[in-house]
Structures are given as C-alpha cells and as structure tokens.
Amino acid sequence: MKQHIRFTFGLAVLAGVSLVTPALAVVNIAWVPVGNAGNTADPSTGYGSVASAYNIGKYEVTNSQYAEFLNAKGGSNSNGIYNSGMASYGIAQTGSSGSYSYSVTGGLENRPVVYVSWYDAARFTNWLGNGQGTGDMETGAYTLSGNTGIITVNSGATVYLPSENEWYKAAYYNGGTSTYSLYPNGQNTITTVDANYGSSGSTNVGSYGGDPSSYGTFDQGGNVWEWNDAVNSGASRGRRGGSWYDDYYSLQSSNRGGDDPSIEGTNVGFRVASVPEPASVVLAMVASGMLLIRRKR
C-alpha cells in the first residue's frame, strides 16, 4: 500500500570527501561544511543552535547510493532494509534470499530514495562510517542489534543522521548575517519555482539549483521528508522539510514532524551528517596557530 505522509504539527569546499576507507568506498557523499559554531537559536522556534562545526549532505541520499548499500548488505534483506515498494520508485530486487541483487531504474538514479524507515537510514550511516563494503550496519553511529529502546547516536560517531538542530541550522541559518529565514532557500517566501512541493512526485536531487540554503544544501524544503535524530513524544523520531506531496507551510522552519521510526512511505527519505575531516581540523588549528604567532610579533 502506498503511504503519503503529511505532517503539520509543531511550532506556528563542497567536495565529496569521504570519511571511509578509500579502498572500500563506493558511495561518495558531497559534504557541505556548516561552520559558525556556537550560533544562537532561532528566537521564533528555539531551534538551530549548534555548538560545533559539522558537515551535512549537500543532497538527499539517492537511489543509486542506497542501491550500493543494498548490494553490499541486502543479500538476505536482513532487518528489512529493502521495501518492495521501492520497485515503483527506482530500486528493483532480483534473485532469491541469500543472493538478492539490486538495480536502479534508468533515469531514476538521482531521485531521493524513499520507503526508508528511520532504522534503515541509521543502518546506512553505520555502514558508511564502518568503511562501506562488508562494514557492519548494526553497530557504529547507532547500536541497533538487540536494542529495543530509544536509540541515540553513540559517542565518537563519524557519519550519522543530523540532529534536529543540525538539520535546522543547515536549512534556515545564514552565518553571514546571523539570521534565520522561514524557508530553506534563504528567503521568507517560496513558490513552486523554488522547491518541489504540491506536485505529483519527487525530482532529481539538486533540480532546484538556483535555490540553495545559505550553506549550499539543496531540497531541504520539499522533494521528500527527511529523518533527523530527534526523539519526539513517545518513541517518535523527527522529520523535517516537507515533501512533493505537501503544501508550502510544511517547508517552513516553524513546522516539524515525526512518526514511528519503522514507518516507510513514498515521500520519506533522509540525508546524512558527519564530523569534519581530521585534516580540516588540523589545518584550522595550524591557521589559528599562525595567527597567534603573527599577533605576538
């Protein structure tokens, strides 16, 4: 059964560098660095303050990227990381259990993957952080195997689902002016020329190339709802951004959603976040050191 998810509750270097072992890496995420650490929260909602710098995916995770994960870890489709509903939206499964393989429908490679639960998204981040290939998907950023409670990100995670504040900041904050916008195109107004909402289906990630967020992310408004790491009432997990199925108000910073982490639907996907590359941190420290030396002189 197709499920369209609608949420309306809540408050009224762009390089594809990888944090995984290069020899095993197949999926390359285009990371957008989000700086301005320690920024204040949006006074209208209370969200968006993040203490440290981080990276976030420039785009939503695509069918082609998720299919690589399935071909690496979905031979038996353990833990249901493949949903048969994906077949109508870009990823087909063939073969028998133990030797399943997956292919992407031509022309749909760059559509955002859908029919993914919060657990599926968490397993994908575990796999990325563990080097891809044969890397474990049950441990890493999240301990999933045998864990029946509320699962939170582990200390030391390198690739993970963004926290709600991280997702919010990347979408709505402008570090240059220290202000927030209502929509994730850096503006307080939006139309269907700027984002994919109120339409008949998803579009390729990055299709609205003239309307990035202030940090340079795309499709944080519309296209598909995106899981984040928030724990809402009960065991509900957070999602933000609205989708192709929703109206403009679902894209607003004041609108937040969530649902059971096992829910999967035709308009639900995700993007990933990561800690900055160690080399970047070292360079920043060196630059700071040089600045201090110059000041002493």
pLDDT at 289: 40
**Given a cut of 80, is residue 287 above it in pLDDT?**
no
The answer to the question of residue 40 being in a domain is: yes
**Given a cut of 70, is residue 271 above it in pLDDT?**
yes
* Band of pLDDT at residue 20, cut at 50, 70 and 90: very low
pLDDT at 23: 44
* Band of pLDDT at residue 284, cut at 50, 70 and 90: very low
CB of 18 closer than 8 Å to CB of 133: no
CA dihedral of 183, 256, 29, 193, whole degrees rounded to 10 = -30
The answer to the question of residue 287 being in a domain is: yes
**Given a cut of 90, is residue 57 above it in pLDDT?**
yes
**Given a cut of 50, is residue 296 above it in pLDDT?**
no
Average pLDDT, the chain: 88
Torsions phi, psi for 93 (to 5 deg): -110, 135
pLDDT at 148: 79
The answer to the question of residue 23 being in a domain is: no
Share of the chain above pLDDT 90, in %: 81
Q: Which residue has the higher pLDDT, 19 or 180?
A: 180
Residue with tokens 């994730």: 184
Sign of CA dihedral 21, 23, 25, 30: positive
Query: Cα 31 to the chain's mean position, in Å?
Result: 11
**Given a cut of 60, is residue 13 above it in pLDDT?**
no
Domain count within the chain: 1
The answer to the question of residue 259 being in a domain is: yes
The answer to the question of residue 159 being in a domain is: yes
Q: CA 214, CA 56: separation in Å to the nearest integer?
A: 13
pLDDT in tens, 177-230: 999 999 999 999 999 999 999 999 999 999 999 999 999 999 999 999 999 999
**Given a cut of 90, is residue 293 above it in pLDDT?**
no
pLDDT at 279: 53
Torsions phi, psi for 33 (to 5 deg): -75, 135
Picking from 135, 169, 209, 150, the residue whose alpha carbon sits closest to that of residue 55 is 169
Single pTM value for the model: 0.88
pLDDT in tens, 116-144: 999 999 999 999 999 999 999 999 999 99
The answer to the question of residue 13 being in a domain is: no
The answer to the question of residue 76 being in a domain is: yes
pLDDT at 149: 84
CATH number of the domain enclosing 158: 3.90.1580.10
Q: Which domain, by its residues, includes 243?
A: 31-296
